[in-house]
Structure 1
Amino acid sequence: MTKLTKHHHRSFSPFSVYSPKASLLLLSTCAVLFILFHIRSLEIPPSSPSHPPWSFTNQWQKIINTTTTATTPATTANAAGAAYCTAEELDVIADKLRRAVTFLPLKDLRYSDKALVGHTWFMSSMYDDHEEGEVQYQQFPSESSHGRLLCLKGRDGHDGSWNSYGLAWPETLPYNATLMKGLTFVSYNHYNYDNIWHGLSAVVPFVAWHRRTNCSALPDRWVLYHWGELRLKMGVWLTALMEATFDGPPVIEAFDDGAMGEGDETPVCFEEAVVMRHNEGGMSRDRRMEVYDLMRCKARVYCGVSMEERTVKVKGKVLPEIGMTLLMRTGPRSFRNESAVVGIFEKECDKVDGCRFRVAHSNNLTFCEQVQLMSSTDILVSPHGAQLTNMFLMDRNSSVMEFFPKGWLKLAGVGQYVHHWIASWSGMRHQGAWRDPDGEACPYSEDDRRCMSVFKNGRIGYNETYFSEWARSVLTEDKMRKMEEASKESATFSGCSC
């Protein structure tokens, strides 16, 4: 060993600053750390205070600190700076993270037969945040997303399986991605946004989330999906309701401002995003009523509807007004003899002091005209149909009377009870339903599913005796309720809940 030169001794030192082996070891370490980070980023751990939001910068600093701490004093003396990746090496890792963002189909065809079950279909790799009784939602960035943002790619309006989603850290967004500032509401609806009942079901959870934030978070835009397919508008009624609720018209994102084009797969990422895919599922009745209270109040303020108690003067006495409204349909599920039905209910209303009777057709009314009408209605009489969704615009504890054509009870499924549900959720009293025993004959046995195509568009008859007795009972109940409310000290309107 005495014959070895100083140069020979350096050649055997595996951690020399200038050794090729040291450089190779350093690059290998960086590559292994990158792979481990990427594997961890694909996991979705439970949200808890022990799991702070994930940040690429924060996590990288942890690795630098860990590596520095683990280095022995002898090694540190001989390899100053070797524990840190160079700027070029960090750029390489960032480049790989950008390219490694994985986009998954927005509509997972593996679960097409279970689209309404759990989290198995729309954004199927993600779980919702959910507290008992509260709305189910996903929020980005958040603890559960490790601080990553939601990115969407594709704008197909015909096949949702061509649209996709992915998650990326703000520092390493996919190449060519457009970052949209502000808050984005991403809605999934398995019905559509034109029908006022179906559309309302889709937006209620956003109002619930908005209310939980004390109405401080307002959306900059909406992204609408129906069966995973992009939709470019809401119905007029729903648009007006959202404008009233969120203090401004909803901006529906179409991805056609140059960021994306038809068939373009350029990703768009959102600075903040809230995703709803379960409609009102999971919310308690109390929470739902609070949401409907807020929308009712906001709609009345938006339309300039008076909040004062309604009264009428009868024989020198001031009595609370009882508004009875027949909200009619045309075509399917309309009354075959509309004038006869009007006559029955008008006659019963005339027998009650303070009762005011109205007949209206929902398709002839603007949104604010519907708000005005419902605000002065205590008893809503109407065939089964989307127009009954307006019931939540009435005062709490108002009454609803519903009518069905022949055949619906056996064949229509649970969907025929949606107005029972909304009555309960919005604090109304569903006073039952009358189902016409007569109607168009079906060529099959009446419990055959094929008969629903006949009964679906059926019209509704009437039973004068039953309608008269039913109307009399509901009017008596509502008169007593209104008298009790009038005897209590009336509260002064102090604004909506938030």
Structure 2
Amino acid sequence: MSKVLEVESTLKAPSKHRSPLVSSCYCTKLSICLSLISLSIIFFLIQIQTLKAPSPFSSSSSPSWAFFHQWRDKVLNTSLNFDCSPELKSMVSKLRDSVMFLPLKDLRFAKTATEGHTWFMSSLKDITDDEKFKYLYFPSEASKGRLLCLMGRNIKDGGSNMYALAWPESLPHNATLRRGLTYVSDTYYDYNNLWHGLTTLLPFVRWYIKKGCVAPDRWVLYHWGELRLSVGPWVRKVMEVTFGGLHLEGLEGDGGGPICFEKALVFRHDTEEVNREEELEMLRCKARVFCNVSRGAPVKEIGLTLLLRRGARAFKNESAVVGIFEAVCRKVDGCRLTVAHTDNLTFCDQVKLMSSTDILATAHGAQMTNMIFMDRNSSLMQFFPKGWLELAGEGQYVYQWLASWSGMIYEGTWRDVEGEECPYAKQDLQCFVFYKDGKIGHNETFLMDWTMDVLNRVKKRKVEEASSNSIQPSGCRCG
């Protein structure tokens, strides 16, 4: 039966526990110290006696001194000849042998992997801070000073990858110690999708800010306990820009055994419900600095961007939708329309475009994650194909949450109601799959009125913001 590590609710500084290797000889050393103290006291009493009754003979030839030297030599010889190294070696060997490796993915909790008891490192209890973030940290008082060790490089079966805790003096046989700070992440989704990659990254950004901007030396990434050795290009670039580089650990040890980490931070829960305004502000700032982009669109200009998709959730009549936005934009002084597809933009192209965008109009999809590079108080217009409202669940609201976290204004949605009916009666999952990547139709009158209303509100807001002379912060956090 695996031992369950009870972790306290707050992370404290690692306590200075007595090492089990030191305590093995502690009693013997204590007795030697007491003997030496006694020896000093006897010496002091002899000195007093000598002063009270001086002898015509040399002190070295007196019975008292002879006894003293004899006793001293016996004690010192005992202390010098005592060798506890065999006992220490035996204790180290036993501790190494007792390190217990458990599966990273515990299938007993497969049904609660995204809520409740997680299946990743299931024997370890989370630390929860005052902002409801849940994490693990090693070594700590919670881990009793032990380090995190990982073993296995399987990319298809998380149950075959293992973890254990071990004291630094008695790491498992053939273990390799990685110095510095390691970030360990497990996600239920993936590291390629912009949205899922971002939400997995944000808890680490928060920790980075709160802990004095100390960047990790490496990352260990898991998906369902399966090792991941790459991330999507957009996610990689955000990680590099934020932390000054990215090194993904492949868990290849020098001795072919487990890899242990001097310091390790583990996040294994999605935290989409937590406000992330501070973290997103830092990402926005660092991305703009990296791409040499100035802040926002000019006050007298309203940047309206129509960001189009190809394939899934594209507009049924793209040219007609573009024509409607062009017609409305011409009616508003200062409106500048940009039409772009996400699949032909570099990372910095996306940062530059979003930095000059006051209004983003686009269909539901990962490209919407780029809104984090827009100014605060910018606006978002979102489009959905048929079937999403009834069948998509809370996933349809994730970009509304992101807009809120980023300090932006969500201007509402257009939901297409035209199209084929689902052929799978009363089968919600099959019907959602049927509708999920459908094309999006439009209503010309609604779209023209909606776009005009948003443009007028943004124009008024920009004038008010300019007249308020609000001071924009300079420099980035952890810059």
TM-score bracket for this pair, using the shorter chain length:
0.7 to 0.9
Q: Which residue of 1 aligns with 2:271?
A: 280
Once residues 339 and 160 of structure 1 are traced to their aligned partners in structure 2, the CA distance between those partners, rounded to angstroms, is 47
1:397-412 paired onto structure 2 within 5 Å: 397-412=377-392
| Maintained 8 Å contact 1:56/1:169 | no
Q: What is the aligned counterpart of 1:464 among 444, 447, 454?
A: 444
2:277 corresponds to which residue?
289
Question: Equivalents in 2 of 1:320, 1:270: separation in Å?
Answer: 54
Counterpart of 2:201 in structure 1 is: 203
Any conservation in 1 of the 2:386–2:419 contact (CA below 8 Å)? yes
Instruction: Tell me which structure has the larger Cα radius of gyration.
Output: 2
Give the number of aligned pairs: 438
Identity of aligned residues (%): 52
Structure 1: state its 5+ residue gaps. Answer: 1-38, 261-265, 312-318
**Does structure 2 retain, via aligned residues, the 8 Å contact 1:440–1:454?**
no
Question: What residue is the counterpart of 1:305 in the other structure?
Answer: 293
Structure-2 residue corresponding to 1:270: 261
CA spacing shift, 1:85–1:115, aligned 2, 3 Å = farther
Aligned to 2:430: 450
* Contact 2:25-2:84 at 8 Å conserved across structures: no
Q: For 2:336 and 2:437, how far apart are their aligned partners in 1?
A: 31
Residue identity matched to 1:272: K
* Mapping of residues 485-496 of structure 1, within 5 Å: 485-491=465-471, 493-496=473-476
Distance (whole Å) between structure 2 residues aligned to residue 125 and residue 241 of structure 1: 32
Distance 2:333 2:432 in 1: 43
* Deviation string, structure 1 residues 279-321 (Cα, Å, up to 9, x no partner): 32573x2xx10000000101100111013x532xxxxxxx522
Task: Indicate which of 232, 237, 241 corresponds to 2:234.
Answer: 237
Contact 1:135 1:282 (8 Å CA) reproduced = no
Q: In the alignment, is the contact (CA less than 8 A) between 1:349 and 1:357 conserved in 2?
A: yes
- CA shift digits 1:384-433 (9 cap, x unpaired): 00000111110111111111111111111211111111111121111111
User: 417-426 or 441-450: which moved more?
Assistant: 441-450
> Match for residue 173 of structure 1?
171
Equivalent-residue separation in structure 1 for 2:277 and 2:319 (angstroms): 35
Q: Choose which of 390, 394, 414 in structure 1 pairs with 2:374.
A: 394
Matches within 5 A, 1:372-383: 372-383=352-363
Is the partner of 1:349 in helix, strand or coil? helix
Counterpart for residue 316 of structure 2: 336
Q: What amino acid maps onto 2:292 in structure 1?
A: G
Residues 150-159 or 416-425, more deviating = 416-425
Please give the TM-score of this superposition, normalised by the length of structure 1: 0.82
Specify the SS of the correspondent of 1:238. Answer: helix
Distance in 1 between residues matched to 2:339 and 2:12, nearest whole Å: 60
Partner of 2:19, secondary structure, is: helix
Cα 1:372/1:150, change in 2 over 3 Å: same
**Does the CA contact (< 8 Å) of 1:119 and 1:127 recur in 2?**
no
Q: Does the CA contact (< 8 Å) of 1:184 and 1:270 recur in 2?
A: yes
Partner of residue 133 from structure 2, selected from 124, 135, 140: 135
| 1:422 matches 2:402 | yes
The answer to whether the Cα contact below 8 Å between 1:407 and 1:446 also exists between their aligned partners in 2 is no
Q: In structure 1, how many angstroms separate the alpha carbons of the residues matched to 2:11 and 2:354?
A: 46
Q: Who is 1:53 aligned against?
A: 15
Identify if the C-alpha distance between structure 1 residues 199 and 268 changes in structure 2 by more than 3 Å, giving closer, same or farther.
same
Aligned counterparts of 1:374 and 1:45: Cα–Cα separation in 2: 43
Distance 1:412 1:143 in 2: 43
Cα deviation digits, residues 17-74 of structure 1 (max 9, x gap): xxxxxxxxxxxxxxxxxxxxxx9x96435267999526452784498269958x999x
1:253 aligns with 2:249: yes
| Correspondence for 1:98 | 96
Letter in 2 for 1:293: E
Using the TM superposition, name which of 438-447 and 467-476 deviates more: 438-447
Task: Report the CA distance shift for 1:226/1:115 in structure 2 as closer, same or farther (over 3 A).
Answer: same
Amino acid at match of 1:255: L
Q: TM-score, normalised by structure 2?
A: 0.85
Taking the aligned partners of 1:452 and 1:50, their CA distance within structure 2 comes to 47
2:187–2:224 contact (8 Å) kept in structure 1: yes
1:252 partner amino acid? L
Letter in 1 for 2:331: K
1:120 and 1:255, CA in 2 relative to 1: closer, same or farther beyond 3 A? closer
What's the offset of the Cα at 1:369? 0.4
Counterpart Cα distance in 1 of 2:448 and 2:10: 59
Secondary structure at the counterpart of residue 454 of structure 1: helix
Letter in 2 for 1:219: P
CA deviations 1:449-482 (Å, max 9, x no partner) are 3222221121001101111111111112111111
Alignment partner, residue 44 of structure 1: 6
Aligned with 1:137: secondary structure?
strand
Q: Which residue of 1 aligns with 2:42?
A: none
Contact 1:221 1:251 in 2 (8 A): yes
How is 1:10-49 mapped onto 2 (pairs within 5 angstroms)? 43-46=5-8
Distance, in Å, in 1 between the alignment partners of 2:385 and 2:272 is 29
4+ residue stretches of structure 1 with deviation over 6 A?
48-51, 76-81
The answer to whether the 8 Å contact 1:163/1:228 transfers is yes
